[in-house]
A and B are shown apart, each in its own frame.
Chain A
Amino acid sequence: MTTVRNKFHELGNWHNKISLAAIVTREAIGENNLTQLSEFQLRKVATKAIDTLNKIEQYVVNADKTIDDMKPFIYQKIAPDTNIPK
């Protein structure tokens, strides 16, 4: 059964993946002195970074979908336009 708790955990997972993916990408680029890398090495670093950025993009899409799934739970309790508890 879908519960707001499960959806909240799911959202937490997407958030977690986004933050971890961002930091490992930053470190992967930052730890290399890019001017000293060969073209082959540069391509390898760039390919990996792009791959992780693609993953981040997908995680964001998934997180948005989870937020959409949560809306009925939230808006059942609070009116979306007035912020007044129902």
Chain B
Amino acid sequence: MIEKIGEGLTIFILDDEKDICQFVKEFFAKRGFEVYTASSSKTAFSTIKKIKPDIALLDIRLAEKEASGLDVLKSIKEKHPGCCSVMVTYMDDEKVVARAMEMGASDYLKKPLMPPEIEKTINKIVKKIRKGVK
């Protein structure tokens, strides 16, 4: 039986690959989260404004050239500082990860996204949220 660790919490997922959004959405929905997704920064900005997520899972590298996950992180930090952001990156983007952590990201995950790592990272954040520490 899958533990519903996310009950009462909203998670937002940004990934330009719609199938990945869908699979990660199913993964978190099974754990009790209310899940919203976006495949572009533009949709991300409007969705985040509407839902005010507790947690955001943001792919740094997007297909579009105008914006990246870092721009979405910046906006979240300005408008919803209470939201915990987890950045998603490729192995070779370590400098970008360091920049994201400086900008206030709570943690990061490396692609390919493997469910045990996603679960471990998100569980850690959920515990902090439940304890009121972010």
Contacts and interface: CB of A to CB of B under 8 A. Distances in A.
Interface centre among B1, B23, B27, B111 (most CB of A within 10 A): B23
A21 B18 CA distance: 12
Chain A's interface size range is 10 to 19
Interface of A: 9, 12-13, 15-17, 19-21, 23-24, 27-28, 31, 55
A15 B27 contact: no
B115 A23 contact: yes
The secondary-structure label for the interface of chain A is helix
Contacts, number: 46
B20 to A, nearest CB: 6
Contacts of B7: none
Contacts of A20: 20, 23-24, 27, 113, 115
Interface residues of B, number: 17
A15 B17 CA distance: 13
9 contacts: A12-B111, A17-B19, A19-B112, A23-B23, A23-B115, A24-B26, A24-B27, A24-B30, A31-B30
A13 B111 CA distance: 8
Given A9-B90, A19-B114, A31 B20 contact: no
Interface string B9-34: 00000000101100110110010000
B30 A27 contact: yes
B133 interface: no
Contacts of B61: 9
Given A28-B26, A55-B19, 8 more contacts: A16-B113, A17-B23, A20-B23, A20-B24, A20-B27, A27-B2, A31-B2, A31-B30
Given A9-B90, A24-B26, A15 B19 contact: no
Nearest to B115: A23
Contacts of B1: 31
A8 to B, nearest CB: 9
B69 to A, nearest CB: 15
